[in-house]
């Protein structure tokens, strides 16, 4: 049961969610919207290879820095 990072496309809230199955509907805990976007976490990127595949500072927390997910952050 993995924990994924999400960004709400309605209120721009960022949150983590324990996903128990692939069919589980994830909703924003702040506004209840189901229009959420799964984020690529820093842990997933670093854990996938022996060396980090990014040149930024460590401990970034993942998410959509730079607004790449469309949420405005």
pLDDT at 65 over 90: no
Dihedral (Cα; 54, 1, 25, 40), 10-degree rounding:
0
29 falls within a domain: yes
Average pLDDT over residues 44-66: 53
Q: Kindly state whether residue 62 falls inside one of the protein's structural domains.
A: no
* pTM score of the predicted model: 0.56
The number of folded domains in the chain is 1
- Would you say residue 43 lies in a domain? yes
DSSP 8-state assignment for residue 34: S
How far apart CA 33 and CA 58 sit, in angstroms, is 31
What residues make up the domain containing 11? 3-48
Q: Identify whether 53 is part of a domain.
A: no
Domain assignment of residue 9, yes or no: yes
In this predicted structure, the answer to whether residue 59 has a pLDDT above a threshold of 70 is no
* Nearest Cα to Cα of residue 38 among 1, 72, 73, 3: 3
Kindly state whether residue 14 falls inside one of the protein's structural domains.
yes
Percent of the chain's residues with pLDDT above 90: 41
Q: Is residue 72 part of a domain?
A: no
The verdict on residue 73 lying in a domain is: no
């Amino acid at each position: 049961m993995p924990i994924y990072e999400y960004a709400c496309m309605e209120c721009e809230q960022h949150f983590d969610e324990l996903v128990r199955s692939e069919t589980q509907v994830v909703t924003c805990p702040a506004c209840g919207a189901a229009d959420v976007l799964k984020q690529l976490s820093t842990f997933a990127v670093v854990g996938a290879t022996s060396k980090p595949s990014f040149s930024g500072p460590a401990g970034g927390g993942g998410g959509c820095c730079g607004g790449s997910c469309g949420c405005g952050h």
